[in-house]
């Protein structure tokens, strides 16, 4: 059932507001192609890690050193695959961050430090400073 004109306008307004408020999040929602591919790579990596762990344990149980080494190498390759899958997501997020959009003020995307916004550590430092200021 198609949306009415009023509902379509409301949806477009909500999309514009979302993009204006958080362009990084809006862009990540739009690019679902890359996330499916990276999810598949991450799942493949986890399977490789589990298979390597099985081979490693089989090598230890049977005292066949070559089997254990092959298991370790398979686990290492699986870890690299998982890491690369998450790095691919990071690249998409960086591209979204570079997308043009309205600034949200001094604490917005450019932030006071000029390093792409306030991250987790910046927020923790701000909380720590506020606690120390309130305690004195």
Question: Quick one: pLDDT at residue 25?
Answer: 74
**Residue 58 pLDDT > 90:** yes
Asked if the structure places residue 91 within a domain, the reply is yes
The separation between CA 122 and the C-alpha centre of its own chain, rounded to angstroms, equals 18
**0.75 surpassed by pTM:** no
Integer Cα distance of 92 and 88 in angstroms? 7
The first and second tokens of residue 10, run together, are 């409301």
In a domain, 43, yes or no: yes
- pLDDT tens column, 94-134: 554 554 444 444 444 444 444 555 688 888 888 888 888 87
User: Is the pLDDT confidence value at 85 over 80?
Assistant: yes
Domain count, the chain: 1
pLDDT, tens only, 7-36 = 888 888 888 887 888 777 777 666 555 556
Per the structure, the complete domain to which residue 92 belongs is given by 37-99
Q: Is residue 126 part of a domain?
A: no
User: 96 and 32 in contact (C-beta within 8 Å)?
Assistant: no
- Give the model's pLDDT for residue 80: 93
Q: Which residue has the tokens 């409301």?
A: 10
pLDDT at residue 103, as a whole number: 45
Structural domain includes residue 73? yes
In a domain? residue 29: no
Long-range interactions of 73-76: CB distance < 8 A, separation 24+? 74/48, 74/49, 75/48, 75/49, 76/52
Q: Does the residue 120 lie in any domain?
A: no
DSSP per-residue letters across 8-24? HHHHHHHHHHHHHH-HH
- Whether the pLDDT of residue 136 is over 70: the answer is no
Tell me which residue of 81, 84, 109, 93 sits closest to 26, measured CA to CA. Answer: 93
- Residue 18 belongs to some domain of the structure: no
């Amino acid at each position: 059932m198609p949306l009415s004109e009023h509902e379509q306008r409301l949806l477009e307004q909500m999309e514009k507001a979302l993009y204006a408020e958080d362009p990084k999040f809006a862009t990540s929602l739009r690019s679902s192609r890359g996330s499916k591919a990276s999810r598949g790579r991450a799942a493949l990596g986890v399977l490789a890690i589990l298979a390597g762990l099985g081979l490693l344990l089989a090598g230890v149980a049977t005292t066949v050193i070559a089997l254990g080494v092959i298991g370790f190498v398979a686990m290492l390759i699986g870890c690299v695959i998982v890491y690369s899958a998450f790095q691919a997501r990071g690249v998409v997020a960086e591209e979204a961050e570079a997308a043009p959009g309205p600034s949200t003020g001094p604490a917005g995307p450019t932030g006071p430090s000029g390093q792409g916004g306030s991250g987790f550590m910046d927020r923790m430092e701000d909380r720590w400073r506020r606690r120390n200021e309130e305690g004195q």
